[in-house]
Amino acid sequence: MEELILGIDLGTSGVKVGILDVASLALTHIVFREYDNSAEQDTDELLGMTLDALKESISAVENKENIKTIGLYRNKAKNVMKMARILVDEYGGEVPNSRAALQSLPGVGRKTANVVLNMWWQVPAQAVDTHIFRVGNRTGIAPGKDVDAVERAIEDNIPADFQQHAHHWLILHGRYSCKARKPLCGTCLIRDLCQYEDKYIP
């Protein structure tokens, strides 16, 4: 069934497997872009999938009942299947390497496009999520009133040599140290550089 949906032979190797790898990166970001711990764990697990596990996940997405616990699961399932078809039919099985083309795909916004550009195409694009937005503004590293402003501030303020991995470091810092409710300022390694005035030091 999954071969029919995607229009490719999932059992082959080479470029077609590469297509699935990058598609899974984009698709898991679309499907699991919630910010609670369970969603983060699910995303991490799916990004490390074997090909057989990915084949099973495609079938699971097609069966919307299997992803009912995910917010807006009906729309996300539709977008996953539409995207897979478009990648094969309109892009010859190649995932596009431009932000505009990526954002033309169903369910893909600027953040997801930046994730694919960064992780697959090695473009130092900054996918600003809730953690990066918070860390950027609290610390003064990348202040901005909206995600676009924070994205531009990261590009302006972080040296080019570090931009490829900057959004990973900022996400992890926001997730585990600079938390939303009770940031761990007392153990933060950059608290002397941080501009946050209401540091939480128990």
CATH value at residue 161? 1.10.1670.10
Residues 10 and 60 in one domain: yes
Q: Which residues are annotated as catalytic?
A: 111, 129
pLDDT at position 78, please?
78
Give the end of a domain, one of 77, 94, 119: 119
Residues 109 and 48 in one domain: yes
User: In which band, very low, low, confident or very high, does the pLDDT at 85 lie, cut at 50, 70 and 90?
Assistant: confident
Residues 89 and 175 in one domain: no
Instruction: Examine residue 67 and state whether it is found in any structural domain, yes or no.
Output: yes
Residues 63 and 153 in one domain: no
pLDDT at position 38, please?
44
Residues 28 and 100 in one domain: yes
- Mean of all residue pLDDT scores within the chain: 75
Residues 134 and 59 in one domain: no
Residues 12 and 97 in one domain: yes
pLDDT at position 55, please?
53
> Which tens digit of pLDDT belongs to each residue from 88-113?
788 887 888 999 999 999 889 999 89
Distance CA 69, CA 9 (A): 30
pLDDT at position 171, please?
94
Q: Specify the range with the lowest mean pLDDT, choosing from 67-71, 113-117, 162-166, 186-190.
A: 67-71
Residues 110 and 155 in one domain: no
Q: Is the pTM of this model over 0.85?
A: no
163 and 154 Cβ atoms separated by less than 8 Å: yes
Determine the average pLDDT of the residues in 136-153. 97
Residue 95: which CATH number? 1.10.340.30
User: In which band, very low, low, confident or very high, does the pLDDT at 166 lie, cut at 50, 70 and 90?
Assistant: very high
Residues 11 and 90 in one domain: yes
As a dihedral over the C-alpha atoms of residue 83, residue 1, residue 4, residue 43, rounded to 10 degrees, the angle is 20
Per the structure, the complete domain to which residue 175 belongs is given by 130-187
Residues 25 and 62 in one domain: yes
Instruction: Examine residue 54 and state whether it is found in any structural domain, yes or no.
Output: yes
pLDDT at position 53, please?
55
Instruction: Examine residue 28 and state whether it is found in any structural domain, yes or no.
Output: yes
Instruction: Examine residue 143 and state whether it is found in any structural domain, yes or no.
Output: yes
Residues 112 and 145 in one domain: no
Residue 1 vs residues 6, 63, 88, 91, 197: alpha-carbon distances, Å: 9, 11, 16, 22, 56
Residues 37 and 71 in one domain: yes
Instruction: Examine residue 193 and state whether it is found in any structural domain, yes or no.
Output: no
Give the end of a domain, one of 119, 149, 175: 119
Instruction: Examine residue 200 and state whether it is found in any structural domain, yes or no.
Output: no
Instruction: Examine residue 51 and state whether it is found in any structural domain, yes or no.
Output: yes
Distance CA 195, CA 167 (A): 19
Number of domains composing the chain: 2
Give the end of a domain, one of 119, 141, 164: 119
CA atoms within 13 A on the CB side of 70: 23
